[in-house]
Amino acid sequence: MKKLLSLALIFSLVGLFSLLLIAEYLEVEQVSIAELEQRIGQRVSISGEIVKVTQKPAVNFFELADATGRLSVVAFGEMTEVNTNTKVSVSGKVELYKGELEVIADQICLA
């Protein structure tokens, strides 16, 4: 019985350590739009102002601008209505689509 408890404690500690290690690597780096070319395929976070919005039932497109440039953002699924001139922070994966950079958003927050 004592051996079983010791073994359970060791595995619990190893599991907690693993979770802490994974959490460190999951943090998303905040970048500017100008830095995105070197980040294709990576998950990033960008802050800026919405300058153009196109909303459809299953997908939403908007253009985000910061001091370094403009970028297309794609968000799938239902989304509360966003308006131009709204400051947001977007997290998602940087992709190249028809020769243009875009971010496929998985999180959008008001800034």
Helix locations, 1-111, DSSP H: 2-26
At 24 the pLDDT is: 58
> What is the chain's Cα-based Rg?
20
Q: What is the mean pLDDT of the chain?
A: 88
Q: Considering the entire predicted model, what is its pTM? A: 0.73
At 5 the pLDDT is: 84
**How many CA within 13 A on the CB side of residue 105?**
23
- Please tell me which residue, 82 or 44, carries the higher pLDDT value: 44
Q: How confident is the model at residue 111 (pLDDT cuts 50, 70, 90)?
A: confident
- Per-residue pLDDT reduced to its tens digit, 16-67: 888 876 765 667 889 999 999 999 999 999 999 999 998 888 899 999 999 9
Would you say residue 68 has pLDDT above 80?
Answer: yes
End-to-end Cα separation, the chain, in angstroms: 54
Return the CATH number of the domain spanning residue range 29-110: 2.40.50.140
Cα 69 to Cα 11, 45, 56, 84, 102: the distances in Å are: 49, 15, 25, 16, 12
